[in-house]
């Protein structure tokens, strides 16, 4: 039986996944890109090192179980004009699932690819500040 743990932030969640070998089942494909996860006051930022990729190469979803699923697939274009002596750029693909913390504003998640980095911004929910209501207490 698979147990579920509650994590306070993305870093704790990733550390928990790395300790648990079942995490590997959430990752498929070839070599995974290097990843940075940053926790700011108002948002989490996830950065994937993906040189040569464009936004069309990615799929990003948040599923019903609060998993961020990032997938990438790219095949180099075949060229009959070139005769490769060595070809290091090959078809590559990966799919990675990251369990999101509960304090994410799912409606405001954004992503962009810039200079070989896929940036995913996960804004945190802003907790509502409840002002105490002023009440006059009658004396009996």
| Best CA proximity match to 119, nearest among 77, 28, 58 | 58
Residue 15 phi, psi (nearest 5): -65, -40
Torsion of CA 46, 47, 50, 51, to 10 degrees: 160
Please give the domain boundaries of the chain with CATH numbers for all domains.
10-77+90-123 (2.60.40.790)
CA–CA distance, 1 with 99 (Å, rounded to integer): 18
For the segment 127-136, what is each residue's pLDDT rounded down to a tens digit?
A: 888 788 888 8
Instruction: Rank 14-28, 32-46, 91-105, 126-140 by mean pLDDT and report only the highest.
Output: 32-46
Residue 89 phi, psi (nearest 5): -90, 110
Contact status, residue 70 vs residue 95, Cβ threshold 8 Å: yes
CA–CA distance, 105 with 19 (Å, rounded to integer): 27
């Amino acid at each position: 039986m698979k147990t579920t743990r509650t994590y306070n932030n993305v870093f704790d969640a990733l550390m928990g996944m790395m300790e648990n070998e079942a995490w590997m089942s959430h990752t498929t494909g070839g070599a995974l890109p290097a990843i940075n996860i940053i926790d700011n006051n108002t948002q989490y930022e996830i950065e994937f090192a993906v040189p040569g990729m464009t936004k069309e190469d990615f799929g990003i979803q948040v599923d019903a179980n609060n998993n961020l699923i990032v997938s990438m697939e790219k095949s180099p274009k075949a060229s009959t004009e070139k005769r490769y002596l060595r070809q290091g750029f090959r078809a590559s693909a990966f799919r990675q699932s990251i369990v999101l913390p509960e304090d994410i504003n799912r409606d405001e998640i954004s992503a962009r690819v810039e200079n070989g980095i896929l940036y995913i911004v996960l804004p945190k929910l802003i907790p509502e500040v409840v002002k105490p209501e002023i009440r006059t207490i009658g004396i009996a």
